Amino acid sequence: MAHDSLYAQPQAPQPSPAGGPRAGAGKAPVPARLAPLLRWDSAVVVALLLVVLGSALLVDGFAASQNIRFLLLDAVAIALIALPMTLVIVTGEIDLSVASTLGLCSAVMGHLWMEGLALELIVPLVVLLGAVLGAVNGLFVTAFGLPSLAVTIGTLAAYRGLAFVVLGDEAVADFPFDWTDAATGTVLGDVLPTVAVLTLVLAVGFGVVLHRTPFGRSLYAIGNNAEAARFTGLPVARRKFWLFVASGAVAALAGVYWTLRYASARADNGEGLELAVVAAVLLGGVSIFGGRGTLPGVLAGVLLLGTLRNALQLADVQAQTLDIVTGSLLIASVVVPNAVTMTRARLRARRAGARPNDLSLNDRKE
């Protein structure tokens, strides 16, 4: 399945008309050798390396250990939410309520702490709440057949409103030092945050599920053609429902991290974070139409977006410009891959003698 590549698979060399030996026999064709480098996620990794190198050379303070630690701490919340978001988008759906779920769970965490509950009890309760909020999204999408875009825009507003009902404009900031220190602690010196290592472990788990299990392969099938997947016996609705549950639970976990990192539970925590998450996922090569993408590419997209924002902040670029950069990357990550895909499809149709208007939807999503 070529869901994670934007370029045509290399064609096998054809025999010469005279039946003689093929030119270059015994050598891999150049396109085959270069194919891994032409994948979108590989290009993102290369772009990440170039941006890191350029920032280290041109931006004062970028390469300092403290700045690298802050960069990774900033990326953790986006990376956490991006893991289940990747699976959701691969199936052709989307969850825009993740940042509001984070904010509501942060507000509930602060409220329960003020009521005297121990954090050892609060944390699992908050994660359970996130799973319930995700289940609400999943129920509307799978049981009632509503579009996930509309549903999660609605719950984006509803969950954020509930957060202000729970906590108002207050900020709860007296969390135990042991917990807040754990959220920002490091391993192997002052550069690598502990939570970044834990996030990487969780990412490996999601990656194994997506790329190495029948369940993960079925998600690509659903994203490519949900109706055909349903006819083959796949429980499409059930799998989409549980993906929304996972998205809510992990967003709640990100809310716990956000609250402890900044030692502040607020109703507006994570506001606007959904834009950065979706931008990172699409920048990492996941198709907004579903059926294509890799988790390593998404992690590279998270780090690329975080590195760009960090370098621009160090260069005293205004916050509005940072939003413009994020929005521009989001548009480019949708337009460029699909323009390449459409160009390929037209070229194949022309070679086959078909008219460009005869392209099917599957050709457009390939």
Q: What is the pLDDT of residues 141-156, one digit of tens each?
A: 999 999 999 999 999 9
31 vs 183: CA distance, rounded Å: 46
> Do 83 and 247 form a contact (C-beta atoms < 8 A)?
no
Provide the pLDDT for residue 352: 82
> Do 272 and 258 form a contact (C-beta atoms < 8 A)?
no
Straight-line distance from the first to the last Cα atom of the chain, in angstroms, rounded to the nearest whole number: 10
pLDDT, mean of residues 153-168 = 97
pLDDT-derived band at 33 (thresholds 50, 70, 90) equals low
pLDDT value at 366 more than 50: no
DSSP string, 277-323: HHHHHHHTT--TTSS---HHHHHHHHHHHHHHHHHHHHTT--HHHHH
Widest distance between CA atoms in the chain: 86
Provide the pLDDT for residue 118: 97
Quick one: tokens of 353? Answer: 């003698």
> Do 83 and 202 form a contact (C-beta atoms < 8 A)?
yes
315 vs 322: CA distance, rounded Å: 11
pLDDT value at 169 more than 50: yes
pTM, to two decimals: 0.85
Provide the pLDDT for residue 12: 39
pLDDT value at 270 more than 50: yes
pLDDT value at 361 more than 60: no
DSSP secondary structure code for residue 146 in this structure: -
Provide the pLDDT for residue 365: 45
DSSP string, 202-222: HHHHHHHHHHHSHHHHHHHHH
Provide the pLDDT for residue 1: 41
pLDDT-derived band at 354 (thresholds 50, 70, 90) equals low
Q: Work out the mean pLDDT of the chain and round it to a whole number.
A: 87
Please give the residue that has the higher pLDDT: either 160 or 26.
160
**172: which strand partners?**
265
pLDDT value at 16 more than 50: no
Q: Which of 40-49, 74-83, 285-294, 344-353 has the highest mean pLDDT?
A: 74-83
Provide the pLDDT for residue 38: 58
327 vs 275: CA distance, rounded Å: 8
pLDDT, mean of residues 335-362 = 71
Give the phi and the psi of residue 189 in degrees, each rounded to 5: 95, -155
> Do 310 and 106 form a contact (C-beta atoms < 8 A)?
no
Per residue in 239-254, pLDDT (tens digit) is 999 999 999 999 999 9
